[in-house]
Amino acid sequence: MLLHIGIDDTDSRKHGMCTTYIGAVLMRRLAKVGEVEEAKLVRLNPNIKYKTRGNAAIALAVRTKKVEEAKRITKQAVEEFAVLEDENTNPGIVFHEGELPEDFSRFYHRALHEVVGIDQAERLLRRHGAEYVKYKLGRGIVGALAAIGAELEQATYEYIAYRARERWGTRRNIDAASVLAMDALTFPLTFNNFDYGEGRVLIAPHTPCPVLFGIRGINAQVVEEAAKLVLPGEEIALSAVYKTNQGTDAHLEEVSRVAEVRPFSSVILTGEVASEPEIIRGGHVFFRLRDDHGEEITCAAYEPTRQFRGVVRALIPGDRVKVYGGVDESRTINLEKLEVLRLRRERLVNPQCKNCGRRMESAGRGKGYRCRRCRTRAEEKVRERLERNLQEKLYSVPPIAMRHLSKPPVLAL
């Protein structure tokens, strides 16, 4: 029998923990009652605020004859490690035996693009006779069910090393030079190891959670090999490799017009820059994008996106772009990527006086242009070439600001 196990919302921003750690512990424990055939780390809608950082759920598929025993082991591990004392932690476990209904896959896609309620998950689980466990509010059953339903046609892999329990909450001492060497050897088969613009190691979190470091890459072998090149500075107490939707852009949906942009979704939208980009206090950059139907929407590059803001600031009205990003409650698109499709290369300016070289003035509506000094005249504005500091290509926020789900431009999946 193939038993699918989904788990979510066990961690706490304040106290640490990580649902992937419970998954790793479970992989070891479940090996005693069966064979773990698949381990998935599934990121869900990144635009939902109440979620614990990153919004990651896990799902395991276990081939076992001892289904009840496997369920007992799972519940025990969640009860042992979930941070139940945090009011924002509301774990959920979902069990499903055998073939996965198509409904589950559809639910996964909804949980990526929409805000899905606990009741909706519960209704679906009851309809298919799946067993589930709710702790406190049990919000975790949403992610747990979505993780089980995730078919991951496009996937990357993450190797995660975990710390010995007595080190949780203490400083990590990963050798940065070894991370650079690993990156030099394995990038772009691995990705987001280091942010060269910021000079920052990205493989280790700065939270009190059990994760020591994680390496993302295009297959299981490469992330495991890359991990051996890292000098961790302490014992690796446990490790796991997950198949994941990270780095796949699974959260993005192409829409054809502004009217289709829903709050809390993540979209790809093509249009024309309709306003001069504006920098506001705090260093955020905003501009208006006009779609092919003449409808407009605000796009934003926030301060943490660092040098990416320079790309956005260099846009001018008339540039044709494709924007990628999450949508907030006020329907502002929070840019993750921007593809410059066509740069405006010219602008219309008043003609120059052939005699003195000065810019002519309007002679009045419909009367052309004239030089006030020389009395020379011209009929029309002239085209002036614009020097642009942008290229017609895809720009992305730097790795340090990249969302888990965002596909780095180097990644060919």
Which positions lie near Zn ion, rule CB under 5 A? 353, 355-356, 371, 373-374
* Residue number with CB closer to Zn ion (355 or 391): 355
Q: Is the dihedral of CA 365, 366, 367, 370 positive or negative?
A: positive
Q: Which two structure tokens, joined as six digits, stand for 7?
A: 């788990």
Shortest distance, position 353 Cβ to Zn ion, whole Å: 3
User: Is-contact 48 138, C-beta < 8 A?
Assistant: no
* Residue number with CB closer to Zn ion (184 or 356): 356
The three-class DSSP label of residue 81 is helix
* Residue number with CB closer to Zn ion (112 or 371): 371
User: Is-contact 335 309, C-beta < 8 A?
Assistant: no
C-alpha span between 110 and 1 (Å, rounded)? 28
Shortest distance, position 367 Cβ to Zn ion, whole Å: 17
Shortest distance, position 355 Cβ to Zn ion, whole Å: 4
Would strands 56-64 and 34-43 be described as parallel, antiparallel, or unpaired?
antiparallel
Which residue has tokens 């691995």? 190
* Residue number with CB closer to Zn ion (157 or 369): 369
**H or E element in which residue 34 lies:** strand 34-43
The string of DSSP letters for 112-129 reads HHS---HHHHHHHHHHTT
* Residue number with CB closer to Zn ion (136 or 377): 377
53 φ, ψ (degrees, to nearest 5): -50, 130
* Residue number with CB closer to Zn ion (155 or 371): 371
Residues in CB range of 379: below 8 A, 6 or more apart: 368, 369
* Residue number with CB closer to Zn ion (370 or 404): 370
* Residue number with CB closer to Zn ion (40 or 370): 370
Shortest distance, position 362 Cβ to Zn ion, whole Å: 15
The three-class DSSP label of residue 214 is strand
Which residue has tokens 């939707």? 245
C-alpha span between 325 and 71 (Å, rounded)? 38
Cα–Cα nearest to 144, from 8, 3, 2, 4: 8
Shortest distance, position 307 Cβ to Zn ion, whole Å: 43
Shortest distance, position 358 Cβ to Zn ion, whole Å: 5
Shortest distance, position 383 Cβ to Zn ion, whole Å: 20
Shortest distance, position 371 Cβ to Zn ion, whole Å: 3
